[in-house]
Chains A and B, each alone.
Chain A
Amino acid sequence: MKKIGSLLLAFTILLALTACGGEKTPPAAGGNGGDGGTGAAPAYSSGADLLSWSWEDIEAAAKQEGELTFAVWNDEAEWNQVADTFKARYGVKVNVLAGEKTTVMDKVLTELDGKASIDVMFLSGETVNGLLGADALLPGILDVMEYKDSLVPGLSVRKEGVSNDQGWWVPVSTSPAGFLYNADQISGDALPQTFQELEAFINENPGRFAMCIPENGGTGQGVMESIIANLTGGLDQYLLAEDGVCDPALLEKWSAVWDWFNLYKDKITFTTSNGDGISRLNSGEVWLVTAWNSGVYNAASQGNLSINHGFYVPEMGLCYSGEVMSLVKNASHPAAALLFTNWLTSEEGQTAQADYTKNMTGRTDLEQGICLLTPEDRARNTDWMAACYKTQYIKDFTTNVLQ
């Protein structure tokens, strides 16, 4: 009886171990490895091989691969809806992986030696230098995109101070920053347009101007960049950074910025996130706050911005943001990743991402009614500083202003 019991136990353990090891092996890049494949796609060993292929061949290879993993850092549910639209079109499953920007980068870097589990990812200012430095991204993808000429020029050329001269990334959406205001408290004539008018507004209305602290949200970083640019001789000098390193001579000029903040910080309301600023404006606590176009659109459409409000970009300039996508060089599913990226810049993909994520399109020829700004306002949106300056002012803000 004991023997039978032992045999049964051993069999159960064996069965459990077999089940644990029974994960489906992803078809290796090579085109003909997937089950049920048509065999129509030529063989390939990496994503670089695919760049010279026709889109028909890439689609066939993508269908053989059957799936891809797409790393995002926000709007996971919305990106899953976009992924479903892609799957309905091509039958290729998109596994949306949501994670912190640097965590995703770390994962890609640790998988550099083998096949990466992340195929395609959003690229941020914080991670672009690290990934390019480790040669982790596939170059040349921008040039093969079918809708390349319609993509927003700024993000196609540069991402937070890093040049896209090798075509490492493709812009897929934009989101301009602007000033959101309580229209019952501020009339159109009194809206601050220049930096001096903003100073006057803060002086006359203490606590009514709000900005997110730079470490917690992009709108706070947008205000920081505008203030730095206005106090230290313009934005252009910060757009590029050689080898991703800040120019010490430029950083010396920032003492004027910290002096300015220490003069005004008691009259500024600092918020904990981009969304917190909008909710404080809605509650009547503040009258003027920096916000993303997408944030204002979402808040208004969901009934979270019930007051009489307006949204504009001041003459002093505020940045615009946007998402760019890159393929991981050693992706396990390069064809599916390439097809997904191309589709996302198509009219169908752009419409899906705009409908679900409420981000504006990454193309200049498509608008989805999400933009709340006039063309004149949008012309005042500026580029981002190089990433090293952003990291620097985030650190310095805590030391020089909050502490």
Chain B
Amino acid sequence: MAEVVRPGGIGEQLALVAGLRWRLFRNALRTTSGQLDLAAQILVGALLGAIVVGLGLAIGAGAYAFAAQDRTGLLALLLWATFLAWHFLPILMATSTASFDFRSLLRFPLRFSVFFLLSLAYGLSDPAVVAALFWLICAGLGIVLARPELLPWTVVILAVFATMNLLLSRMIFSWLERLLARRRTREALAAILVLLILGFQLSTAVGARWQTRVRPYVRAALPVLQQLPPSLAGKALAGAVKGDALQALRFTGFVAAYGFAFGLLLRRRLRAQYLGEDLGESQAPAVVLRASGSPTASLSSASLAPSYLPGAVAAVFEKELRYVLRNSALLLLLAIPLILIVFFSLTFGSRRPGGSAPDIFTRTPELAFPGAVAYMLLILGQMAHNSFAYDGRGVQLLFVAPVRFRDVLIGKNLLLGLLVLLEACLVWLLISVLASPPDVLVVVATFSYVLFFLLTHFLVGNWLSLRFPRRFEFGQHRRRASGVTLLVSFGLQFVLAGMAAGVVLLARLWGWMWLVPVVFLALSAAALEVYKVSLDAFDRLAARQREVLTAQLCRQ
């Protein structure tokens, strides 16, 4: 009966995998949580889509103008923009997009060609790549609308450029995956990603501040940049616009050669995976450290929690603290607001050479401290919204142990609260040292807002954590929070920031600045009462949600 087993065609296998993905998507919608998740994603997608379309129109208009006015040299700039978006946005958005490990399909008799094509298709399904591709199409449309006779050349050059980008992005990710497979390199990489995000935020400031110093380096790098694919594709387009077919063909060939080289490197990586390379966590070498004496007893008895806390609360607090101390990306996240304060004070701390722009901290001293704290809260507040993410299968213990879930939540909230307050104190110290100590009223008002912010975030965060839990692997390229959590989180930040702005504006209008701390202390007292009452409700919610929590967090 072996004759029924025949090697499936490439198209057939690809269709099967597409069908599988569709089935997985449909099945995920069976639960209310899955449906809400999709609705939230559609909403967020619509918002982001509007931004993408707007930028696409701008790129298209730019391409139209450059082609119509024969300013062909500038076309390369548009290609550079899409190139950078194509390769950096997926990395920056890695933690907020869903992923499917198509390597799990390798247990089936999949041809290597299909596996290779699946990798490329997977690359195309990334929302950030879809956006970059859309911008490239917009650029092409702009050129063709300006010069219809360039349609064939534009299609060919941009298709080659897009293929090269696709191969390069998959190559980068396939090598990243290899690094991500090992726990230690994975964490290092997560830290690098956070730094990259930080660098992204600082790039404008660096450009503005050190324009004159950066310029020579940019000038020196230009010849190198000229040899890279976006510039080459730009030259190919310029050749087409000028009617120089040889130039267009030659530079298109160079871009294709890049694509071929990236394809070979990608093939090498995928071939290793196809032949059974194990990218599992087990590859991480366990470091066995033997210490003399009785290390176990000393390690276990070393307490990180205050002794006056009740047993279960102290245990959870201590466990959470150990998790924070072992999470390099999280530690870096905690350090970012402090780094930024130092950076801004060094960058804008003195008058610009030859300019008259005043010191940012001395110009608006009353805003420096609350502004820095607000930025810190923006980063750290979200940590309360998926607080079981790192617990994984350990969440089972929280249900079988003789503790009330309210104690677990208090332990988690307490640690985050203390971290935020400690960080706020450090921010105050830095501002005081680098600029001048903020006014007492400003400090009291800011801390009273922090208190209110924390309590409301604990209230909403505890509900979100129990209702929409998502497992998160340290530094892994996996989705972090549910769509609903992201949406509610965004909304809460918006509402709280609006409230703060409203209260401050009214206080300023009436000249009663003392009103700000009074209002937020009163709101904090009310929020504290609600928080206390909510703990019992969350205790009951946890009991109802135990199946969801264990199912979501224990899955491998």
The answer to whether A and B belong to the same complex is no
Residues in chain B within 8 A of chain A (CB atoms): none
